[in-house]
Structure 1
Amino acid sequence: MKTAYETSIVIVGAGPVGMSLAIDAALRGIDVIILEQRAPGAPPSTKCNTVASRTLETFRRFGVADKIRAAGLPDDYPTDFLIATALDGDEIGRIEMPSRNKRASGGWPDSDWLTPEPVVRASQLYLEPILYERMLESPNITVLNSTRAERFEQDAEGVTLYAQDTVEDATVTIRARFLVGCDGGRSTIRKALGIKLVGDEELGRTRSSLIRSKEVLAKFPGRPAWMTNVVGTRGRGTVIAIDGRELWLVHRGTQDGDFDSIDLDQSLRDVLGMGPDWKYELLNHEDWIGRRMVAEQFRVGNVFIAGDAAHLWVPLAGYGMNAGVADAMNLSFILSSVLKGWADPAILDAHMAERHPITEQVSRFAAGMGAQNRAAFEFDPDMAAKLDAQTEEGVSFRAAFGAAAVVRNRPQFAPKGLNFGYYYDASPLIEYDGEAAPPYSMGEASLSTAPGCRMPHFWVDEAAGVSVSELLGPDYTLVQLAPDADAQPIVKAAATAGVPLQVATVAPPAGLDVFQHRLLIVRRDVHIVWRGDAAPDDLAGLMQRLRGARPLEKPVSPAFATSTT
């Protein structure tokens, strides 16, 4: 067997974040080695059950969005959020969301989103095999399964990683220019770097069980739900439909912080409303602690961390893995720019400058939403009994509680702000022009072309399914929004500076008046880095900005909302 390798980027961890980084870097022509402790085909975690719109836009570029959209739930299974006293009990509140075959009908909480890829409720159980298959298609990616990272050494030129092949019991040595730890919350790479996680170490404890049972679906008296919060006296927990038929993920939170206080078997029966004769298959079980923790640093020298290795928070709004994929896309662009030789090494600092503030904000949104939902029960120990009461008062109480819960939870099931509202307000790669980005929250966002914001989506050819983002090149693209705008000075300056710049000429649709400038420079991740009506006077300075060779002179004050809604 081969035990010595050389590559440009070595990635530790082949979960969705690590695989996304590998695929994107490979598409840029970069050679990658990715290590994974699990054997090929080993079942992945079922922690993540949402592929956000922004993430699916990335997977669209990988050519796998349609496969992901078709995975998991049946075509006619609703993706509702339901609050009920039991699966077969009184319905308290519901946020109706579409099944796959009803998505195009409109009228849903997220139907007004400007995106080519609406959210998909697909479990990581189905997502990972699709990404893994896509990864194996690339000749630029070497996958080392059953291989555990042990230690590494770094110098000015790169990193040497020492790993253990657990099948052959052999030491593997990999020399790379960069190492990225995508190895989860217990990250070996983060710990080896001595990077601390900062924030709230414990927000709650949960027992999660993946089970197989065909009897659960029949418990729903009418329209089933993708996620159900059970809040009655018989049991309290969350039930997530994995395949809409027989696979279910069941969360039960502890009331006193002790995992053992929750009987594994009886708590499942209580939450699902099953009797002592009910038979089921336990496929996987995990006890976990909800946290709000963000790493102090995302980089030391030539070594980076991303995804759960860099930030952890409670899984509200489904944005843990999705934030990690955004980390990966950011890193892929930055690392490849150095590897290809056109960027200044100082560009490596941009990853921390851009991603750290965003993950800190998202972590607070998620923690705030979780605190609001917990408070609804913690302030009234008799809440479950009131909700279960089969009286006129019980009916009124359920209606009031449900109405408030729907309003409170709508932002996490239609998180427009988390997908499209966030922006980079203090990046050394962005040429700010004095206009602050509009505020955003978990559930709300405004369109903007202010530098640092996401370029609003529009269809170039809706019938053919061509989005404006699909016109973007791998690095920078000069988007010419007026055909008579003079793009040539910028094109020539980029060629002189060695900055990769493609040109796309396109007209926004009538009525989308957010586009007030004739020219935009946009990155592959759809963030705007410059705008204007003509080439700026200091073209050389702009090129230095794009290369990461100019420090940021004046950060823009953040404008994100503190509300979770």
Structure 2
Amino acid sequence: MIEVPVLVVGGGPVGLALACELGLRGTGCILAEQRPGINEHPRANVVASRTMEHFHRWGIADRVARAGLPLDYPVDIVFTTRLARREIFRFSFPSYEDCRSPSAAKLSQLPDLLQSRYFKTSVAQSDLEPVLLDFARSFDAVDVRFGWRLDDFTQDDDGVTARLTQSVTEESLLVRCRYLVACDGGRSEVRARLGVSLDGEADLGQFVGVHFRSPDFMRRHALGRATLYWAMNRESPGVFIAINGRDTFTFQRSVAPGESVSSIRPLAAIQAAFDEPIECEILSVQPWKAHQLVAERLRIGRVFIAGDAAHLFVPTGGFGMNTGIGDAVDLGWKLAAVIDGWGGAALLDSYHAERHPVAVRNTTEAADNYRKIRPAFARAQDAEAPDPLGASARSEIARGIAEGAKHFAATGIHLGYRYESSPVCIPDGTPSPPDDPQVYVPTSRPGSRAPHVMLDDGRSILDLFGAGFTLIRTGEGDADRDEALFVNAGRELGIPVSFQALGDAQVARLYERRFVLVRPDGHVAWRGDQPPVDVAALLRRVAGHDEAGATPPNPETAL
């Protein structure tokens, strides 16, 4: 039997991200994935701004960006009837390179770039996963095992005993861990064995994903470089996604009601959507369904659920993988804190309280995007009709797409989620800012992401946050006294606290209070204009050590 603090089941982007977060903190884990290696079929294709901020904190953001489309590749989204026919509408967003050093004109065009150093980074999941895998394997504390499936597990008051089996040799291995995390996808066997149901709406749509190579593709249309090319017609509707910016793409072919998946011929579907007999090499084909589903519970005893095992999305907006990596970051630092001894039980209780509402919010928004773009496809047949009917239909489609801009520029979704009901964030009684999917409102309100500010030395304030809690103090005052008050209290409790005194006027304006305590994941735990009367009690609370009457236990986490 092998003993390890954490067993991660599933080696997709969420399982790998969790292994990275744990490895970075020196927390031992085994990651078991039943597949023999990385899935080479591209699925998710956008790394959102908040996810890139996490990757920046890990030191791998540049590696991730370089794994995707060329850095100067424009993030354009083009709508056509068919690629070789008519363009209907276009969104134009700056390239990764432009986002990293935005001009005044770019900032005026896209003020979202004031809220983060990142916007939309185009990297296929199949290209992201090798970067995460290499990073996870760089830690001695992380043991990645592809080709190992989970056959059984039982849990008790002290831990989980799991049986893994090597898929080729049938070698069996018992693993004893303190916690098990299910990152085993939408058909999660762990979730099924726990008896956790999914709430929401299933089967919103059906698609066939075709991964192909075509040196002809970019030469045979006049649309220029874009990340997404939508084909809005009745014969072969769907969207082409650029994978390497040269010759590899996916085509996500929408399956119409009454149409069977087996009737769709990949090459014919691509050529019909293109309206040209282009040469293609089909690399892989994967049918899939779109859902709006969230697990009713994200924790049962010592077993946690994350990623697609916890929530299933319609991909309209690119929220699924990014929400899952958010799960991994939230859970990773909390598991590490508890295992290291400075985190209390309420810290693990807070995982469901924090991430479940985010999953409901994000799956709901993705489904809303999907429902709002469907009417455009309903007019697709008329869009190819002779004018004036065709012109009228295309104009109506263009108006509808423009009104749905939140689908393609969802900074509010990616940066504006907040942990309203968390037992380890201390509310201050202020009202919530608007939760707009497109517009992010920076705030230091407890539970929110601490705002990004560029400092005079060229760093973001986010770069100052440490592996533990970080106290940001703005304005004038005795910095040595304030530092000693918080850092010494943390040292006596064994809770890591660092201190940053900043006189920057923009920081003072955005952070709204003189004292802002930021968690290891970059969310605000507490704020105030004066230190609390009992700093130790504050730190115990935010680190998950229940104060009497302050943090009721979560009944959903009972064994």
TM-score bracket, normalised by the shorter chain, equals over 0.9
Work out whether residues 159 and 178 of structure 2, in 8 Å CA contact, stay in contact via their aligned partners in 1.
yes
Q: Name the structure 1 match of 2:472.
A: 479
Q: Name the structure 1 match of 2:463.
A: 470
Q: Name the structure 1 match of 2:9.
A: 12
Work out whether residues 185 and 309 of structure 1, in 8 Å CA contact, stay in contact via their aligned partners in 2.
yes
Instruction: Confirm or deny that 1:85 pairs with 2:78.
Output: no
Query: Whole-Å Cα distance in 1 between the matches of residues 119 and 377 of structure 2?
Result: 33
Work out whether residues 45 and 125 of structure 2, in 8 Å CA contact, stay in contact via their aligned partners in 1.
yes
- Provide Cα deviations, 1:329-382, integer angstroms capped at 9, x if missing partner: 11012111210112222321100000001110111101111111113444xxxx
- Provide Cα deviations, 1:408-447, integer angstroms capped at 9, x if missing partner: 1x21221111111110101110111101220212212211
Number of residues of Structure 1 aligned to a counterpart in Structure 2: 542
What is the TM-score normalised by the length of structure 2? 0.92
Letter in 2 for 1:36: E
Pairs within 5 Å for 1:187-202: 187-202=188-203
Deviation at 1:32, TM superposition (A): 1.2
Deviation at 1:101, TM superposition (A): 4.2
Query: Whole-Å Cα distance in 1 between the matches of residues 524 and 493 of structure 2?
Result: 20
Work out whether residues 482 and 519 of structure 1, in 8 Å CA contact, stay in contact via their aligned partners in 2.
no
Work out whether residues 228 and 242 of structure 2, in 8 Å CA contact, stay in contact via their aligned partners in 1.
yes
Candidates 477, 492, 497, aligned match of 1:496: 492
Deviation at 1:100, TM superposition (A): 3.7
Deviation at 1:396, TM superposition (A): 4.3
Q: Name the structure 2 match of 1:559.
A: none
Work out whether residues 208 and 287 of structure 1, in 8 Å CA contact, stay in contact via their aligned partners in 2.
yes
Q: Name the structure 1 match of 2:139.
A: 138
Work out whether residues 487 and 534 of structure 1, in 8 Å CA contact, stay in contact via their aligned partners in 2.
no
SS at match of 2:316: coil
Deviation at 1:393, TM superposition (A): 4.6
Q: Name the structure 1 match of 2:24.
A: 27
Work out whether residues 423 and 437 of structure 1, in 8 Å CA contact, stay in contact via their aligned partners in 2.
no
Pairs within 5 Å for 1:424-443: 424-443=419-438
Work out whether residues 458 and 508 of structure 1, in 8 Å CA contact, stay in contact via their aligned partners in 2.
no
Deviation at 1:480, TM superposition (A): 1.6
Q: Name the structure 2 match of 1:333.
A: 333
Letter in 2 for 1:6: E
What is the TM-score normalised by the length of structure 1? 0.91
Cα 1:482–1:362 change in 2 (3 A) is: same
Work out whether residues 35 and 147 of structure 1, in 8 Å CA contact, stay in contact via their aligned partners in 2.
yes
Candidates 513, 525, 529, aligned match of 1:517: 513
Work out whether residues 487 and 535 of structure 1, in 8 Å CA contact, stay in contact via their aligned partners in 2.
no
Deviates more, 1:539-548 or 1:333-342: 539-548
- Provide Cα deviations, 1:81-117, integer angstroms capped at 9, x if missing partner: 1111111111111000223444434154465341123
Q: Name the structure 2 match of 1:375.
A: 375
Instruction: Confirm or deny that 1:537 pairs with 2:552.
Output: no
Deviation at 1:490, TM superposition (A): 2.9
Query: Whole-Å Cα distance in 2 between the matches of residues 296 and 528 of structure 1?
Result: 26
Q: Name the structure 2 match of 1:287.
A: 287
Work out whether residues 205 and 253 of structure 1, in 8 Å CA contact, stay in contact via their aligned partners in 2.
yes
- Provide Cα deviations, 1:178-222, integer angstroms capped at 9, x if missing partner: 111111101121112111111101101111110111111123214
Work out whether residues 461 and 467 of structure 1, in 8 Å CA contact, stay in contact via their aligned partners in 2.
no
SS at match of 1:453: coil
Letter in 2 for 1:316: T
Letter in 2 for 1:482: G
SS at match of 1:514: helix
SS at match of 2:244: coil
Query: Whole-Å Cα distance in 1 between the matches of residues 206 and 188 of structure 2?
Result: 20
Instruction: Confirm or deny that 1:420 pairs with 2:415.
Output: yes
Pairs within 5 Å for 1:381-396: 383-396=379-392
Q: Name the structure 1 match of 2:261.
A: 259
Cα 1:76–1:336 change in 2 (3 A) is: closer
Work out whether residues 148 and 165 of structure 1, in 8 Å CA contact, stay in contact via their aligned partners in 2.
yes
Query: Whole-Å Cα distance in 2 between the matches of residues 183 and 226 of structure 1?
Result: 29
Deviation at 1:535, TM superposition (A): 1.3
Work out whether residues 151 and 192 of structure 1, in 8 Å CA contact, stay in contact via their aligned partners in 2.
no
Instruction: Confirm or deny that 1:310 pairs with 2:302.
Output: no
Candidates 19, 35, 38, aligned match of 1:38: 35
Cα 1:396–1:241 change in 2 (3 A) is: same
Letter in 2 for 1:274: E
Query: Whole-Å Cα distance in 2 between the matches of residues 111 and 425 of structure 1?
Result: 23
Q: Name the structure 2 match of 1:528.
A: 524
Pairs within 5 Å for 1:116-127: 116-127=117-128
Query: Whole-Å Cα distance in 2 between the matches of residues 425 and 111 of structure 1?
Result: 23
Work out whether residues 86 and 234 of structure 1, in 8 Å CA contact, stay in contact via their aligned partners in 2.
no
Work out whether residues 458 and 509 of structure 1, in 8 Å CA contact, stay in contact via their aligned partners in 2.
no
Letter in 2 for 1:292: Q
Query: Whole-Å Cα distance in 2 between the matches of residues 435 and 219 of structure 1?
Result: 56
Work out whether residues 453 and 507 of structure 2, in 8 Å CA contact, stay in contact via their aligned partners in 1.
no
SS at match of 2:352: helix
Unaligned runs of 5+ in 1: 556-565
Query: Whole-Å Cα distance in 2 between the matches of residues 30 and 234 of structure 1?
Result: 53
Deviation at 1:511, TM superposition (A): 8.1
SS at match of 2:122: coil
- Identity across matched positions, percent: 34
Query: Whole-Å Cα distance in 1 between the matches of residues 111 and 41 of structure 2?
Result: 27
SS at match of 2:23: helix
Candidates 501, 504, 507, aligned match of 1:505: 501
Deviates more, 1:260-269 or 1:291-300: 260-269
Query: Whole-Å Cα distance in 2 between the matches of residues 462 and 16 of structure 1?
Result: 33
Pairs within 5 Å for 1:23-422: 23-40=20-37, 42-103=38-99, 104-105=102-103, 106=106, 107-109=108-110, 111-256=112-257, 258-275=260-277, 278-378=278-378, 383-408=379-404, 410-422=405-417
SS at match of 2:293: strand
SS at match of 1:513: helix
Deviates more, 1:201-210 or 1:261-270: 261-270
Work out whether residues 291 and 314 of structure 1, in 8 Å CA contact, stay in contact via their aligned partners in 2.
yes
Q: Name the structure 2 match of 1:562.
A: none
Query: Whole-Å Cα distance in 1 between the matches of residues 274 and 508 of structure 2?
Result: 47
Cα 1:295–1:436 change in 2 (3 A) is: same
Query: Whole-Å Cα distance in 1 between the matches of residues 109 and 132 of structure 2?
Result: 29
Q: Extract structure 1 runs of 4+ deviating beyond 4 A.
A: 551-555
Deviation at 1:118, TM superposition (A): 2.8
Deviation at 1:468, TM superposition (A): 1.0
Cα 1:281–1:175 change in 2 (3 A) is: same
Work out whether residues 48 and 124 of structure 1, in 8 Å CA contact, stay in contact via their aligned partners in 2.
yes
